Amino acid sequence: MAEKTEGRLAGRVALVTGASRGLGAAIAERFAAEGAHLILVARTQGGLEETDDRVRAAGGEATLVPLDLTKFDEIDRMAAAIAQRFGRLDILVGNAAMLSPLTPVGHLKPKDWQAVMDLNVTANWRLLRAFDPGLRLSENGRVIMVTSGAAMEAFAYWAAYAASKAALETLVSSYAKEVAKTAIRANLLDPGAMRTKIRAEAFPGEDPMTLRPPEEVTPVAVSLAEAGCTLQGQVARAYG
């Protein structure tokens, strides 16, 4: 692996989930410009290849992993392959997420509840579980999990999505305390309202051009990923 010698993430190995579009793709592109080697994970090969094109345009390089994160055992196999190839993982970005149907609690279908919990919570736990050894082998392991303001404020009809993000925040806070005496720093990123597909699904009547593009959130992601980050168990908000 050829390593870039310039940039705030020079020579760092970073895995980004949900990297085929939106915030994940924007973070991948920015991390590449900062010198990181990217491992890009998403369900769609075509979307990953589009992100890879932008990563290469930014002067970076990436390893593409088409993977459905709800196939949990595949996460373990991915972690083993990455450990064999790179010997460590420096940065883990858990960005992949889905919006549950916006409906009253009594109308939520069990399959919809399970789907949002599987991706938004359980997949991120499996990522932490699988990559904890590799993060401990890094000189400065960094974990960034993407959350939402919905985790802190209850909205009618948002129960499943909000509960999943609240659970994610508790998961990361607990992990941060467990690794407090190591070189790992684990935090959450709340990007706020952005011009993304998931936002359009939630607010179909909203003019997307009134929202920030995901690229404007990436400086906060870089600050959480770099070796000098001292935050631990915090929610970094990219707005306000």
- Tens-place pLDDT, residues 144-164: 999 999 999 878 999 999 999
| pLDDT, tens only, 48-81 | 999 999 999 888 999 999 999 999 999 999 999 9
CA distances from 150 to 83, 131, 193 (A): 35, 27, 11
CA–CA gap between residue 22 and residue 95 (Å, rounded): 10
CA–CA gap between residue 105 and residue 137 (Å, rounded): 43
Instruction: Please check whether residue 127 is in contact with residue 75, taking contact to mean a CB–CB distance below 8 angstroms.
Output: yes
**Those residues with Cβ within 8 angstroms of residue 210's Cβ, 6 or more apart along the chain or in another chain:** none
pLDDT for residue 153: 86
Q: Write the CATH number of the domain with boundaries 13-237.
A: 3.40.50.720
Q: Quick one: average pLDDT of 85-102?
A: 96
Band of the pLDDT at 3, cuts 50, 70, 90? low
CA–CA gap between residue 212 and residue 191 (Å, rounded): 10
Band of the pLDDT at 6, cuts 50, 70, 90? confident
- For residue 46, the surrounding DSSP H or E stretch is helix 45-57
pLDDT at 1 over 60: no
Instruction: Please check whether residue 42 is in contact with residue 19, taking contact to mean a CB–CB distance below 8 angstroms.
Output: yes
Provide the annotated active-site residues: 161
Instruction: Please check whether residue 31 is in contact with residue 39, taking contact to mean a CB–CB distance below 8 angstroms.
Output: no
Contacts 24+ apart (CB under 8 A), 200-207: 201/99, 202/99, 202/102
pLDDT for residue 4: 60
Backbone angles phi, psi at 194, to 5 degrees: -135, 165
Backbone angles phi, psi at 97, to 5 degrees: -160, 165
Which range is most confident: 152-161, 192-201, 203-212, 221-230? 221-230
Q: Other C-beta atoms within 10 Å of 83: how many?
A: 16
pTM higher than 0.85: yes
The mean pLDDT value of the chain amounts to 95
- Residue spans per domain, the chain: 13-237
